[in-house]
Amino acid sequence: MRHRILNIAGRVGLMLLVIWTVVSLVTLLIEFVPGDPANVILGETATVEQLNNFRQKHGLDKPAFFFSIDGEIGFKWHGTENRYYDYFAGLLRGDLGRSFRTDRPVLEMILDRYPATIKLAVAALLVAIGIALPLGVLAGANKNSLIDNAASVTALLGISVPTFVVGPFLVYIFAVKLGWFSPTGSLYPEDIILPAVTLGAALSAILTRMIRSSVIEELGEDYVRTARAKGVSERSVLLKHVLKNGLIPVVTILGLQLGVLLAGAIVTEKIFSWQGLGLLLLDEGISKRDYRLVQGCVLVISVTYIFANTLTDLVYRKLDPRIRLS
């Protein structure tokens, strides 16, 4: 019991450390981006008084961090009077701050868009599994055959072609030429198909190669030869024995690739104008130098990624009881 409590405490501590590191790095990097948020948001026609009021309202008149470089004394210490301290103090209260541009709570803006990004990521994951599972199993079960070579070429193409090429190509074929789907937007249920296929294509290529390798490895194990010697059909060997054991490393890839899907969703959402977290981060956060919105979006993406890794560990244990959470 004590060991389990220590494990949980260690995992929670590691999660908090990762979140703090990511948000700190984003805060540091965004400070190096040239330009003043007050000038960007209020425009060139804003008066000095309006600019000063804006900076004071959003804490931009305070130093960015605990200390700053001073030409005379070297480093000047600011104590708790800085934006970095204010932000993390707000996080402890569950407050992500307010958007510079809209003055809406950042948490409210993120919650409006977050479900769309998760829906897209899950749909892309299902597309990737739907493509990779049959291709990987067929390629592994028919090693060095025509099927295997065709699956390998398909996987190589999927890995090589980036999403910003696949996306416009799918739009041109299925939206412009065939007229089956809308080129952009997220108003109708079918609008998710093109961005999900775009996002899931690269992941399906990686999964296909992973499943193929797992199937080939498992087919060489002793328990497979024993099952065949007992007269078990090849289909039963693949579905009941090989896939169950071969899925364990694949689950690793799925858990880790969810973070890649969230990162890839930023580009995909921009291509298809999908109203998710990625589009919010690009159009409303980074382009407008909305510090609080950028920090909030990155924080939510980081927490989602950590949660996906934790869920991967739990699935590990379900698939193979010999694996213990570390």
Is residue 208 within 8 Å of residue 154, measured between CB atoms? yes
Whether 101 is in a domain gets the answer no
pLDDT for res 19: 81
Digit-coded pLDDT (tens) for 260-275 = 777 777 888 888 888 8
> Would 324 be classed as within a structural domain?
no
Q: Give the separation between CA 125 and CA 262, rounded to whole angstroms.
A: 11
Please give the pLDDT value at position 111: 92
pLDDT of residue 74: 60
Task: Give, as one character, the DSSP assignment of residue 68.
Answer: E
- Are 213 and 251 in the same domain? yes
Within a domain: 260: yes
Question: Is 285 a member of any domain?
Answer: yes
Q: Within a domain: residue 195?
A: yes
- Domain check: are 229 and 116 in the same one? yes
Whether this prediction's pTM lies above 0.85 is answered by no
Same domain, 204 and 254: yes
Q: Which of 59, 41, 56 is nearest to 101 (CA)?
A: 41
Residues 167 and 195 in one domain: yes
CA pair distance 153, 147, nearest whole angstrom: 10
Task: Give the residue from 300, 291, 270 showing the smallest Cα distance to 282.
Answer: 270
- 222 and 314, same structural domain? yes
Residue 52 lies in a domain: yes
Dihedral sign from CA coordinates of 167, 185, 301, 249: negative
Helix (H) or strand (E) run with residue 74 in it: strand 74-77
User: Within this chain, do residues 167 and 269 fall inside the same structural domain, yes or no?
Assistant: yes
Question: What tokens appear for 294 in the block?
Answer: 């950028």
Convert the pLDDT of each residue in 128-165 to its tens digit. 888 888 888 888 778 888 888 888 787 777 777 777 78
The total domain count for the chain is: 2
Q: Where are the alpha helices (DSSP H) in 32-76?
A: 37-42, 48-57
For residue 44 the two structure tokens come to 């060139």
Q: 17 with 127, same domain?
A: no
Q: Is residue 325 part of a domain?
A: no
3-state helix, strand, coil in the chain (%, to 5): 75, 5, 25
Residue 269 CB neighbours (<10 A): 26
User: For residue 325, what pLDDT is reported?
Assistant: 45
Distance CA 215, CA 246 (A): 6
pLDDT in tens, 9-23: 777 788 788 888 888
Query: What is the domain-level CATH number for residue 128?
Result: 1.10.3720.10
Residue type, 228: R
CA 301, 303, 305, 311 torsion-angle sign:
negative
Determine the pLDDT at residue 320. 60
Residues 115, 35, single domain; the answer is no
pLDDT band at 79 (very low <50, low <70, confident <90, very high): low
Q: Which of 142, 99, 119 is nearest to 285 (CA)?
A: 99
Residues 115 and 55 in one domain: no
Domain end call among 92, 127, 158 = 92
Task: Please determine, for residue 326, whether its predicted confidence score (pLDDT) is greater than 50.
Answer: no
Query: What φ, ψ does residue 20 adopt, rounded to 5°?
Result: -60, -40
Whether 205 contacts 157, CB under 8 Å:
yes
Residue 39 inside a domain? The answer is: yes
Q: Among 34, 57, 92, give the residue marking a domain's end.
A: 92
Write out the residue range of the structural domain in which residue 18 sits: 2-92
For the stretch 187-246, pLDDT in tens is 778 888 999 988 888 788 888 888 888 888 777 777 777 777 777 777 777 777 677 777
Same domain, 53 and 145: no
Residue type, 205: A
Place of tokens 């739990």: 314
pLDDT, one tens digit per residue, over 283-295 is 888 888 888 888 8
Q: Are residues 81 and 132 in the same domain?
A: no
- Whether 73 has a pLDDT exceeding 60, the answer reads no
Confidence of residue 67 (pLDDT cuts 50, 70, 90): low
Based on the domain organization, do 160 and 228 belong to the same domain?
A: yes
